[in-house]
Every structure is written in C-alpha cells, then in structure tokens.
Amino acid sequence: MVTRTASRPLAAGDISTFQSLVFLGGQLSLALCVLLRLNYYSIILGAASLSLVITYPLMKRVTYWPQLVLGLTFNWGALLGWSAIKGSCEWSVCLPLYFAGVMWTLVYDTIYAHQDKKDDIIIGVKSTALQFKEDTKQWLSGFSLAMLLSLCLAGMNCNQTFPYYSAVAAIGAHLAHQIYTLDIDKPEDCWKKFASNRTVGVLLFTGIVLGNLWKQKDSKNGEEPLESR
C-alpha cells in the first residue's frame, strides 16, 4: 500500500508469507549460532534485545515515535560489541555511545520517513515525520547536537585522542549541511540525505580506529623512557 515499497518481494507477491517466515527462521538460527559463541554476559545481553526486535515492527501502528524504538533496537551493538570483547560493559562509555546511536537513528530515519508520509496518512500508520511536520529541521538539529555531545562524552570516558574528536567535528559539519539542505517535501532528496548517512558511519569508524592507534602510540612513547632507565 506504499508506492515506494510496493515492488519489494513480499509486497509484490514474488514470495509467499510462508517462504518469508522460513527465510526469517534461517536468519534467526544463524544469529543464534553467532550469539552462542560469545561469553555468557554477552549471550544474556544479546537475548535482552529480543523484546525490542519483536515489538519494533508494530510500533508505527501504536506511536508516532517508532523511530525511537528502531534506534533502541539498531544500536544494541554498541553494548554487545564491547561486552563480546571485554566480557562486561563499561557503562560510562557504552551508554553515551548507545545514546548517540539512538539520536543518530532518529535523524536519518525521520528523514527516511518523510518519503512515505503521504501514504502513511492514508494507511493510518505513524512516524516522527508526521509528528514533527514542518518543525522537522529543528528536531533533527536537537537530535544531532545530543548525538555529538554523547560521542564527546564517550570519547572522554575512554581517553580518546585527536583523530576521534576530529571525526566527531566532521560528523557535526556533515549533519549540519545535511539538515540545512534537506527538502522534506521531495522524496528523492530525502532518500539522498538518508543515504548520505553512510558517510557519518565511515567518519565515526575511521575516527575510532585512528584515535585508538594514536592512543597506543602515545602509550608506547610514555613507556620507552621508563624502559630505558
């Protein structure tokens, strides 16, 4: 019933509901195999996300904030990734990182939702695009600011270095341009801006990697004088 997604396999009738459930079962089985390879803390933490995974698809029929539930679901990896390596979570780092991810999801998925707002009104489903309407840019600006502050807090709590904060600054500039030039009434522009968020992900990943390498270099430089003594 949505023009943009009517050609997708299930909606178009190319596959049956039963076939899609079989495919879903296969994906979930593989995911369970991966989860069970992790430590016990991570297994419990990963299983705790199931309630979000199950309820998210229903949220657009219940609340105008399904994008918030999507953010809570999508960004669970900020917690699970750390625990899979460390065996527990450093909450002073993981929670700000998780919150930043949730704010980012609210930015890009609100932009995404503006593509379908006309169909959504007809169908009767809800979204932040319909909630914010012409105030969308102000909301996106607030979410972006919260995201950037949370990334800075996460960085400070794990002693991040110059490359990381440079990446956060670049992300801020990218989001500012993205929001300023966004035309919420043009679906093609909404798609373009939504897709440009891959740049945000690349910048943050690069900043984390280079920041950690810089940190290791500083650590080694600090140890060398002691060793020479």
Inform me whether the pLDDT recorded for 226 exceeds 70. no
CB–CB of 96/103 below 8 Å? no
Distance (Å, whole) CA 59 – CA 55? 7
CB–CB of 99/58 below 8 Å? no
- Report the first-to-last Cα separation within the chain, whole angstroms: 74
Inform me whether the pLDDT recorded for 81 exceeds 60. yes
* pLDDT for the residue 165: 98
Structure tokens, 91: 């909450």
Region for 171 from its dihedrals, namely left if φ exceeds 0, alpha if ψ lies in -120 to 50, beta otherwise: alpha
As a whole number, mean pLDDT of residues 196-211 equals: 97
CB–CB of 190/125 below 8 Å? no
DSSP per-residue letters across 121-162: HHHT---HHHHHGGGHHHHHHHHHHHHHHHHHHHHHHTT--H
Inform me whether the pLDDT recorded for 175 exceeds 90. yes
Distance (Å, whole) CA 101 – CA 82? 14
Structure tokens, 102: 């949730």
Distance (Å, whole) CA 16 – CA 27? 17
Cβ neighbours for 83, distance < 8 A, ≥ 6 positions apart: 38, 39, 41, 42, 45, 89
Inform me whether the pLDDT recorded for 5 exceeds 90. no
Inform me whether the pLDDT recorded for 229 exceeds 60. no
As a whole number, mean pLDDT of residues 108-122 equals: 95
The count of other CB atoms within 10 Å of the CB of residue 97 is 25
Distance (Å, whole) CA 59 – CA 81? 26
Query: pLDDT > 90: what percent of the chain?
Result: 89
What are the tens digits of pLDDT across the range 34-66?
A: 999 999 999 999 999 999 999 998 999 999 999
Report the predicted TM-score, pTM, of the whole model to 2 decimal places. 0.89
Q: What is the mean pLDDT of the chain?
A: 93
Domain ranges of the chain: 17-51, 59-219
**Which of 221, 208, 212 has its CA nearest to residue 100?**
208
